Amino acid sequence: MKIQRKSYALIAALAAAVALSGCNRDPAPATPMPPPAATTDPAPAMQSGPLTGGMTTTSVTSITVGSTPAIDASTASQTTLTVRDPIVVTVRTDGVPGSVEIAANLRYQDGQEVGQESATLNTAGAETTNMTFQHPTGWPTGTYTVDVTVDGQPAGMSQQVEIR
């Protein structure tokens, strides 16, 4: 019987040692939280610069002068037209939603304004707008300059075309 008591005592001591061994442990270090993901501002930034005519939400990205618009509303750039050709001004813009007026002014070489066309854009993103100038009896020969404005402010680009 002595062996049995020693066995029980040994088992009890072993169990107590195992139980007490977990009591004095330092707590595990806390797992650091990952830093929050970088966020981007969902509101679009206002465009400004020489092509926008000041602070606005729409900017002119290019102006092309030609005589025939393609199916996609683009116009092949031409520097010389005939007296009977229409003058087609293609204005490419990019911007955020809002009502914006795009205008093209056509001036003869002496500075005289010979036409003005405008369009109101109500779309966002890239847009192509054509404005066509026609002269019922044919254009006088010479050099013409096209200036574009965005909401009345110069877009910062001019294009010239020669009529022969």
84-141 pLDDT, tens digit per residue, is 999 999 999 998 878 899 999 999 999 999 999 999 988 778 999 999 999 999 999 9
> 60 by DSSP, 3-state: which?
strand
How far apart are the C-alpha atoms of 157 and 147, rounded to whole Å? Answer: 7
The confidence score (pLDDT) of residue 40 equals: 39
Confidence of residue 50 (pLDDT cuts 50, 70, 90): very low
> 36 by DSSP, 3-state: which?
coil
What is the pTM (predicted TM-score) of this model? 0.64
Reading the block at residue 116, the tokens are: 């003005």
**C-alpha distance from residue 24 to each of 3, 14, 27, 75 (Å):** 32, 17, 9, 82
The confidence score (pLDDT) of residue 45 equals: 33
How far apart are the C-alpha atoms of 87 and 67, rounded to whole Å? Answer: 5
H/E run at residue 14: helix 2-21
User: Mind listing the domains of the chain with CATH numbers?
Assistant: 58-163 (2.60.40.10)
